[in-house]
Structure 1
Amino acid sequence: MALLWRRELPPQTVRRGPKQTVSVDAVVAAGITLADREGYAGVSVRAVAAELGLRPMSLYTYVPSKDALTLLMVDAVTDEDTTPIPATLAPRDRMATIARRIRAELLAHPWLLEVPPWRHVLGPGSMRRYERHLAAIDGIGLSDVEMDRVLAVLTEFATGNARVAVAARDAARHTSDTRWWETYGPLLDTVVPADRFPVSSRVGATVGELYQAPADPDGTFEYGLARLLDGIAGDG
């Protein structure tokens, strides 16, 4: 916790141990760079040290563990989202902006999807963003508890869709949708005949023509977000 809030705490007057040659910020930035490039599984104390040209053991003078480094990385990414949500936007558009920004962050840093989300990172970045998000929906007719729950629902919806979008993006790197259907389409025509699955065949043909892919995460996100906001507005 002290590392997360290191800029807000008084500077240490006495430092024990080896002299530090880089900053905690540099260690965190190296961890993010590594995670963006190699995925969360590629992040380790040894790998981050190598990224910085340090000995592995020396990294422990900056962060005590990979778990601690992960918290710092998550909060640093969260703190990149600094653009205020204009109060001039309609409440619905403010909520949509929250969901879209969360999804965009996950698409830009997909390793965040591998970090356990249950215990919130109570760092300055996450607290500043929570304050901005609450301020964006304050005064639209929701109670304090409803405001918190709206943010949770928007976050969970954006996260679930981002997970599918990332998986689709990764799959496309290995096999194109056209190639996949060329390979498996004939088999599916045999085992899923239209007379046994009439509704599935009709709908599948319609959306397949539209999507030109097994699914459409981007379109699904916008459609689902619109329906979600309809429900929030109706309840409010």
Structure 2
Amino acid sequence: MTRATDPARALLELLWRHELPPRSGGRGPRQTVSVDEVVAAAIGLADREGYAKVSIRAVAAELGLRPMSLYTYVPSKDALTMLMVDAVAREDAPIPAELPVRARLVAVAQQIRDEYLAHPWLFEVPAWRMVLGPGRMRRYERHLAAVDGAGLDDIDMDRVIAVLGQFATGNARTALAAARSAREQSDADWWEAHGPVLEQVMPAGEFPLSSRVGTAVGELYQAPGDPDGDFDYGLQRLIDGILPG
């Protein structure tokens, strides 16, 4: 099977293009932009309009190219998606090794959460068995380095990264939903519309704990919840359970 007919090899060569020696003697039309520019255009489009709007045709239009010419850079939208995910992973800043272990674990979770908040379309991309490129591999190495020295064995180190990522991803989803809801209708307007009915159908005598806690939460947050505060609180409790006593 040749490179041209081996999609897995072709995708890996695209992902690791900067680490592989340049190929010579290629045929076809001269490329007017780089693969990096194609990927950056696709990320910009997804950030602005959502993942559903990303297509070979749309990305070509972003670059002023004909749709068919984009196939000389990437073979499909699926391949482009993997390049996009890997490029986003490259954006992570190094986590200083001199930080205490707890601070390093906080940084791992914060990076993952920030990535989803900056690029919400990542929620629409299947993460399972994503082909590993240099961006994702180097991030995994950085995150392992952040956990190293915490007194955990190799399996537990991998699990810690997975659990921190799952917690950060779930919280980011909630934070994005809260932000979208606030843009559509303020919490004050929502309560003005729904409050009288809720007071009627949910009397405090029937729901004493909910009424007491809900009132305290509403007064403190001035909103139904506090995803940012939940992240800080939950992350500290999670790390308490991760680090050996």
Scaled by the length of structure 1, the TM-score of the pair is 0.96
1:61 matched residue in structure 2: 72
- Whether the 8 Å contact between 2:109 and 2:168 is mirrored in structure 1 is yes
Query: Aligned equivalents of 2:107 and 2:131: distance in 1?
Result: 22
Aligned pairs for 1:87-236 (under 5 A) are 87-234=97-244
Matched, 1:51 2:83: no
- Whether the 8 Å contact between 1:24 and 1:62 is mirrored in structure 2 is yes
Scaled by the length of structure 2, the TM-score of the pair is 0.93
2:52 matched residue in structure 1: 41
Query: Aligned equivalents of 1:117 and 1:181: distance in 2?
Result: 37
Displacement of 1:172:
1.1
Where 1:35 maps in the other structure, the secondary structure is: helix
Where 1:61 maps in the other structure, the secondary structure is: coil
Query: Aligned equivalents of 2:74 and 2:130: distance in 1?
Result: 19
Q: Structure 2: state its 5+ residue gaps.
A: 1-11
Displacement of 1:140:
1.8
- Whether the 8 Å contact between 1:161 and 1:221 is mirrored in structure 2 is yes
Counterpart of 2:105, as a letter, is M
Q: Percent identity?
A: 71
The Cα offsets for residues 57-102 of structure 1, whole Å up to 9 and x where unpaired, read as 1111111111110100011011011x32222211111101110111
Displacement of 1:52:
0.6
2:29 matched residue in structure 1: 18
Where 1:208 maps in the other structure, the secondary structure is: helix
Counterpart of 1:191, as a letter, is V
Query: Aligned equivalents of 1:104 and 1:149: distance in 2?
Result: 20
- Whether the 8 Å contact between 1:75 and 1:121 is mirrored in structure 2 is no
Query: Aligned equivalents of 2:105 and 2:220: distance in 1?
Result: 28
Q: Structure 1: state its 5+ residue gaps.
A: none
Displacement of 1:118:
1.2
- Whether the 8 Å contact between 1:71 and 1:121 is mirrored in structure 2 is yes
2:6 matched residue in structure 1: none
1:73 matched residue in structure 2: 84
Counterpart of 2:138, as a letter, is R
Counterpart of 2:220, as a letter, is L
Displacement of 1:17:
2.4
- Whether the 8 Å contact between 2:117 and 2:172 is mirrored in structure 1 is yes
Query: Aligned equivalents of 1:100 and 1:45: distance in 2?
Result: 32
Query: Aligned equivalents of 2:131 and 2:78: distance in 1?
Result: 11
- Whether the 8 Å contact between 1:40 and 1:111 is mirrored in structure 2 is yes
The Cα offsets for residues 134-169 of structure 1, whole Å up to 9 and x where unpaired, read as 111212210001100000000010000000001111
Superposed CA RMSD in Å reads: 1.1
